[in-house]
């Protein structure tokens, strides 16, 4: 086979958000009918949106989109989750029928939802499974999650989904994850890329008891030994200790940056994928905002490593993109404040008189 003809995972000439638009948006906030800085973080978020869109004032979002990537994990058979592995496929069905938490939250936020099966063990409808790379994954405590070809196929799937969504008009993206047991490989990736020890990243995930927590800690410890041996290669790291949906999300996040499209990051699994995406496409994090602080300890390490300040802190650890969708109305508000608030000149309001400093 001619490998030169195969799709490549490359993120050359990654664009940066527009600094001219960022500066113009910051200046505009100073001209609006309000005390300077009085809207706090909302001002920073609106400026970020303007820089991503490359214009000031920014456009209000018209097609925010949640894409949930789903896959199963072999390590779930080790009892690291409160749920049986077959629940992943059942939850895909709940999203398709519109009754999952992410459907409810996204609808309230004005976003639509898509689910993509890249590695669910059970069969799902063909349109959902069109990017499926395999059924399930290896148990990462003693074997690779995926083959090298499967890993690349999953990353490319995420990239293609991002392209399709942007080409279809999406102007804000949210990646969601779905997979019983996926907080275990997520924690391994976070520990590997942040140089942390297993005990610092083991959380309660789906609500496990102490016995399951100890099984999870052991699985993370064993998988981390294997992951550290391939730390310098992001694809090998995903192959060794990731999973199909995490690999796909990494490709999705990196390609969204290539397509100059802002992303709201969700919780732990998306955060772990974001760490890998930043390795694949250095600088991609400039196109992301952390929607919330997840209730998992490893997520705090993600935020610190990517230097991202979360919008919300509600102890959400569901996944599915639900936490990010909760934050979407605040980001939309920040955007509309810049686009629709009058300036002092437009409103005929006298601007503040700044007194000279004392002394």
What is the C-alpha separation between 282 and 303, in angstroms, rounded?
Answer: 16
pTM of this prediction? 0.95
Model confidence over 257-303: pLDDT tens digits? 999 999 999 999 999 999 999 999 999 999 999 999 998 999 999 99
Mean pLDDT for 191-195 is 98
Model confidence over 6-29: pLDDT tens digits? 678 999 999 999 999 999 999 999
Mean pLDDT for 75-86 is 95
> Which token pair is 217?
């800690």
Model confidence over 238-253: pLDDT tens digits? 999 999 999 999 999 9
> Which token pair is 254?
């990196």
Per DSSP, helices labelled H in 259-296 are 268-280
Following CA atoms 190, 102, 263, 312 in sequence, which dihedral angle do they give, to the nearest 10 degrees? -70
Between vectors from CA 289 to CA 286 and to CA 295, what angle results, nearest 5°? 135
pLDDT exceeds cutoff 50 at 3: no
What is the C-alpha separation between 270 and 178, in angstroms, rounded?
Answer: 10
Residues 6+ apart with CB under 8 A from 222: 141, 142
> Which token pair is 259?
């397509």
Contact 41, 327 (CB under 8 A): no
Task: Supply the pLDDT for residue 354.
Answer: 72
pLDDT band at residue 5, thresholds of 50, 70 and 90?
A: low
Enumerate domains of the chain plus CATH numbers. 64-327 (3.40.50.10210)
pLDDT exceeds cutoff 60 at 189: yes
Task: Supply the pLDDT for residue 311.
Answer: 98
Q: Which of 143, 278, 320, 340 is catalytic?
A: 320
pLDDT band at residue 227, thresholds of 50, 70 and 90?
A: very high
How long, in residues, is the chain? 359
Model confidence over 114-159: pLDDT tens digits? 999 999 999 999 999 999 999 999 999 999 999 999 999 999 999 9
Pairing of the two strands 263-265 and 172-178: parallel
- What percentage of the chain has pLDDT greater than the value 70? 97
**Residue 24, Cα to own-chain centre: how many angstroms?**
28
Mean pLDDT for 337-347 is 96
Mean pLDDT for 335-357 is 89
DSSP code for 62: S
DSSP code for 49: H
Task: Supply the pLDDT for residue 130.
Answer: 97
What is the C-alpha separation between 227 and 230, in angstroms, rounded?
Answer: 6
Strands (E), the chain: 64-71, 112-119, 172-178, 263-265, 288-290
Task: Give me the sheet containing 112-119, strands edge to edge.
Answer: 112-119, 64-71, 172-178, 263-265, 288-290
Task: Supply the pLDDT for residue 357.
Answer: 61
Q: Does the annotation mark 320 as catalytic?
A: yes
What is the C-alpha separation between 223 and 151, in angstroms, rounded?
Answer: 17
Task: Supply the pLDDT for residue 8.
Answer: 85
Mean pLDDT for 43-64 is 98
Instruction: Give me the residues paired with residue 258 across strands.
Output: none
Task: Supply the pLDDT for residue 1.
Answer: 37
Tell me the average pLDDT of the chain: 95
Task: Supply the pLDDT for residue 358.
Answer: 59
What is the C-alpha separation between 130 and 123, in angstroms, rounded?
Answer: 11
Task: Supply the pLDDT for residue 117.
Answer: 98
């Amino acid at each position: 086979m001619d490998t030169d003809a195969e799709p490549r995972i490359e993120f050359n000439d990654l664009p940066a958000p527009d600094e001219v638009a960022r500066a113009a948006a910051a200046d505009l906030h100073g001209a609006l009918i309000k005390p300077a800085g009085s809207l706090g973080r909302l001002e920073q978020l609106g400026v970020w949106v303007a820089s991503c869109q490359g214009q000031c004032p920014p456009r209000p979002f018209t097609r925010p989109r949640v894409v949930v990537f789903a896959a199963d994990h072999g390590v779930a058979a080790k009892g690291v989750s409160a749920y049986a592995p077959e629940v992943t496929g059942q939850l895909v069905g709940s999203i398709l029928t519109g009754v999952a938490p992410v459907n409810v939250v996204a609808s309230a936020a004005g976003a639509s939802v898509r689910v993509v099966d890249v590695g669910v063990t059970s069969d799902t409808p063909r349109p959902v499974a069109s990017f499926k790379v395999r059924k399930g994954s290896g148990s990462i405590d003693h074997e690779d999650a995926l083959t090298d070809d499967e890993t690349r196929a999953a990353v490319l799937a995420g990239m293609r989904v991002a392209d399709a969504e942007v080409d279809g008009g999406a102007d804000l993206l949210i990646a969601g994850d779905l997979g019983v047991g996926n907080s275990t490989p997520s924690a391994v990736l976070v520990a590997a890329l942040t140089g942390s020890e297993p005990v610092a990243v083991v959380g309660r995930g789906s609500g496990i008891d102490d016995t399951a927590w100890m099984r999870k800690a052991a699985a993370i410890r064993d998988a981390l030994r294997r992951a550290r041996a391939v730390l310098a290669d992001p694809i090998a790291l995903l192959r060794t200790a990731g999973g199909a949906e995490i690999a796909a999300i990494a490709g999705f996040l990196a390609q969204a940056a290539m397509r100059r499209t802002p992303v709201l990051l969700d919780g732990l699994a998306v955060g772990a994928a974001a760490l890998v995406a930043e390795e694949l496409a250095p600088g991609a994090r400039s196109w992301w905002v952390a929607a919330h602080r997840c209730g998992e300890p490893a997520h705090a390490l993600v935020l610190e490593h990517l230097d991202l300040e979360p919008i919300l802190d509600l102890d959400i650890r569901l996944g599915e993109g639900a936490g990010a969708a909760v934050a979407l109305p605040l980001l939309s508000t920040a955007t509309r404040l810049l686009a629709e608030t009058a300036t002092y000149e437009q409103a005929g309001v006298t601007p503040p008189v700044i007194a000279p400093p004392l002394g």
